[in-house]
């Protein structure tokens, strides 16, 4: 059985999805640690969520640029600034708005524990963020 361009593309996308997931997994740890620290200091859970998401977004952007989509990016400052803007408009918007709305639903209305609610919100936003990153943020 020969490996044509389609199977090479799928293999590349599978590897990229794994890299995306690895970076995102570490980003989840960054976000949850920040959320736990902020809520332990008495910060309102919605404000703490927004701050924790921003910390994870900046972490993830750096590693996606250097690791996940390194083959697509030139590391010139102007290109990085444009990608960071697109990352905030795309991924950060999905993560911030998605997390805040889902936290309000899961923690605020359904009274789930804050950490569990945040994990659920993160998982729901994951696929949309990959698509936006792959198709818009880290263009070839």
86: left (phi over 0), alpha (psi -120 to 50) or beta: alpha
**CB within 8 Å of 98: residues ≥ 6 apart:** 121, 124, 125, 128
pLDDT at 11 over 80: no
Average pLDDT, the chain: 86
Q: What percent of the chain has pLDDT over 70?
A: 87
**CB within 8 Å of 118: residues ≥ 6 apart:** 31, 32, 35, 49, 52, 99, 103, 107
pLDDT at 1 over 50: no
By C-alpha distance, which of 133, 64, 63, 69 is closest to 95? 133
Tens-place pLDDT, residues 32-89:
999 999 999 999 998 998 899 889 989 999 999 999 988 886 666 678 888 899 998 9
Q: What is the widest separation between alpha-carbon atoms in the chain?
A: 60
Cα–Cα distance measured from residue 70 to residue 138, given in angstroms and rounded to the nearest whole number: 9
Comparing 46 with 95, which gets the higher pLDDT? 46
pLDDT at 12 over 70: no
pTM of the full predicted structure? 0.74
Cα–Cα distance measured from residue 60 to residue 68, given in angstroms and rounded to the nearest whole number: 10
């Amino acid at each position: 059985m020969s490996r044509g361009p389609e199977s090479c593309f799928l293999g590349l996308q599978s590897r990229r999805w794994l890299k995306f997931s690895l970076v995102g997994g570490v980003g989840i740890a960054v976000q949850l640690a920040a959320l736990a620290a902020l809520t332990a200091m008495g910060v309102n859970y919605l404000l703490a969520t927004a701050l924790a998401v921003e910390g994870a977004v900046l972490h993830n952007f750096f590693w996606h640029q250097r690791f996940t989509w390194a083959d697509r990016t030139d590391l010139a400052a102007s290109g990085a600034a444009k990608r960071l803007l697109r990352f905030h408009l795309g991924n950060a918007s999905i993560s911030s708005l998605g997390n805040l709305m889902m936290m309000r639903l899961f923690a605020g209305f359904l009274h789930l524990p804050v950490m569990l609610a945040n994990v659920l919100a993160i998982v729901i936003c994951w696929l949309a963020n990959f698509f936006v990153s792959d198709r818009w943020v880290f263009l070839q």
